């Protein structure tokens, strides 16, 4: 079969592949500890499920507006005002099939051949692939532990060319768990504004913060930054709603209209009754979010302590999300070899850094139970010792 050439532009998701392999091993009866999945291990809170069930019973089972239920768009606009100090109206919002789809819509609407998209390394796996699918060029900027794996304003400035169109910012970050301080965000915003760039801020982990870390949306850095900002977010991580597939993009109306046109000919509206679950998530008490955050924080402390006790591994303490990003550079193994050997010989699933653009690192997700964390870290110590 002669497939379209765009297929060759993208690599299948390594994280999904490893998670699937770990699940298969588990199903075959092996005692697998999985640190691979980027998904909360909690079930969706009951009141959110109840709202979707009620919507189902009430017949909210039909096509809706492609850009989302008006009530949800209104609730999202209010959330952006209240939580993020961003002055968006419902017409500035499109409801999408998850944060992944909101970013995909954006790339399709904004990026074309010749356009450059600046992406800091390590990056979330899908950013460069989406840019490639849109025909654009990713300009990857390496960061390291010295700056907490965060791009500096100087690095951003140096990466800019006449073809630069968009800068992708993700804080708290997947895979590092690093959080840009408000001062760092403001300094990046100045570079964005000065160079007439667009910035997309992927804020999907904004609610998962530790040790007093503060999330500032880059759009709230200044009125000028607001004009150049696009916000991507979703319900998957904060509300344990990964399978619901509800996310959103907030941006200037012209861009939202373009995404709406694309969405109108591709997915149309997000599952109607799922959107009613999302409304309940935003409009009800946020205690469930805090409960999960506290549980993640407990696990974070344990996993960090265990990794720090293993010679030859180094780790920077994450202040957000639910990932630890571990430097395995001293071991002399490529990240894929490390992860394959660890999974095959010790039944522990982790993600190779090469998926995020850094082959001397691995990522562990601690969105798993404490017993698996204890067991998995013991095996990590043994594996590293054996090398």
Residues that bind ligand PLP (CB under 6 A): 38, 98-100, 124, 170, 174, 202, 204, 234, 236, 242, 247
Which residue, 99 or 318, has its beta carbon nearer to ligand PLP?
99
Which residue, 184 or 202, has its beta carbon nearer to ligand PLP?
202
- The H-or-E segment that residue 34 falls in is strand 33-34
Beta bridge partners of 140: 119
Residues 6+ positions from 108 with CB-CB distance below 8 Å: 133, 134, 259, 262
Which residue, 38 or 376, has its beta carbon nearer to ligand PLP?
38
- The H-or-E segment that residue 137 falls in is strand 137-142
- End-to-end CA distance of the chain: give it in Å, rounded: 44
Which residue, 96 or 164, has its beta carbon nearer to ligand PLP?
96
> What percent of the chain is helix, strand and coil (3-state, nearest 5)?
50, 15, 35
User: What is the nearest approach in angstroms of ligand PLP to the Cβ of residue 234?
Assistant: 3
- Checking 300-304 for CB contacts under 8 A at 24+ apart, the result is 300/210, 300/324, 300/366, 302/370, 302/373, 302/374, 302/377, 303/364, 303/366, 303/373, 303/377
User: What is the nearest approach in angstroms of ligand PLP to the Cβ of residue 2?
Assistant: 31
Which residue, 123 or 226, has its beta carbon nearer to ligand PLP?
123
Which residue, 109 or 278, has its beta carbon nearer to ligand PLP?
278
10 CB burial (10 A radius; 0-12, 13-18, 19+): middle
Which residue, 245 or 306, has its beta carbon nearer to ligand PLP?
245
Residue with smallest beta-carbon separation from ligand PLP: 98
- The H-or-E segment that residue 202 falls in is strand 198-202
Helices (H) and strands (E) in the chain, counts: 13, 13
> What is the separation of C-alpha 244 from the centre of its chain, rounded to a whole number of angstroms?
16
User: What is the nearest approach in angstroms of ligand PLP to the Cβ of residue 37?
Assistant: 9
* CB-CB contact of 331 with 361 (8 Å): no
User: What is the nearest approach in angstroms of ligand PLP to the Cβ of residue 21?
Assistant: 18
């Amino acid at each position: 079969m002669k497939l379209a050439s765009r297929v060759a532009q993208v690599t299948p998701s390594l994280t999904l592949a490893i998670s699937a392999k770990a699940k298969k091993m588990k199903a075959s009866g092996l005692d697998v500890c999985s640190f691979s999945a980027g998904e909360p291990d909690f079930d969706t809170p009951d009141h959110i499920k109840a709202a979707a069930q009620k919507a189902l019973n009430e017949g909210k089972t039909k096509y809706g507006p492609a850009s989302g239920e008006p009530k949800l768009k209104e609730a999202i606009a209010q959330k952006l005002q209240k939580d993020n100090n961003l002055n968006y109206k419902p017409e500035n919002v499109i409801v999408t099939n998850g944060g992944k789809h909101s970013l995909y819509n954006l790339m399709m609407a904004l990026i074309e051949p010749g356009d450059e998209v600046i992406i800091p390394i390590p990056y979330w796996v899908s950013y460069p692939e989406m840019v490639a699918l849109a025909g654009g060029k990713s300009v990857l900027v390496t960061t390291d532990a010295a700056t907490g794996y965060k791009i500096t304003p100087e690095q951003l400035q140096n990466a800019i060319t006449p073809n630069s169109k968009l800068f992708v910012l993700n804080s708290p970050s997947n895979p590092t768990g690093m959080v840009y301080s408000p001062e760092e965000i403001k300094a990046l915003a100045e570079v964005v504004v000065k160079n007439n760039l667009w910035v997309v801020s992927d804020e999907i982990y904004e609610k998962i913060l530790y040790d007093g870390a503060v999330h500032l949306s880059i759009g709230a850095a200044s009125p000028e930054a607001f004009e150049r900002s696009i916000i991507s977010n979703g319900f998957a991580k904060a509300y344990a709603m990964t399978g619901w597939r509800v996310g959103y993009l907030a941006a200037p109306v012209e861009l939202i209209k373009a995404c709406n046109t694309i969405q109108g000919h591709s997915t149309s509206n997000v599952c109607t009754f799922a959107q009613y679950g999302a409304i309940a998530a935003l409009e009800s008490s946020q205690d469930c979010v805090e409960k999960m955050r506290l549980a993640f924080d407990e696990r974070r402390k344990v996993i960090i302590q265990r990794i720090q006790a293993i010679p030859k591994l180094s780790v920077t303490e994450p202040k957000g999300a639910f990932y630890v990003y571990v430097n395995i550079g001293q071991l002399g193994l490529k990240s894929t070899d490390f992860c394959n050997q660890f999974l095959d010989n010790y039944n522990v699933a982790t993600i190779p850094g090469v998926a995020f653009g850094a082959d001397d690192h691995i990522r562990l997700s601690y969105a798993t139970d404490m017993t698996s964390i204890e067991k998995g870290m013991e095996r990590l110590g043994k594996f590293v010792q054996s090398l």
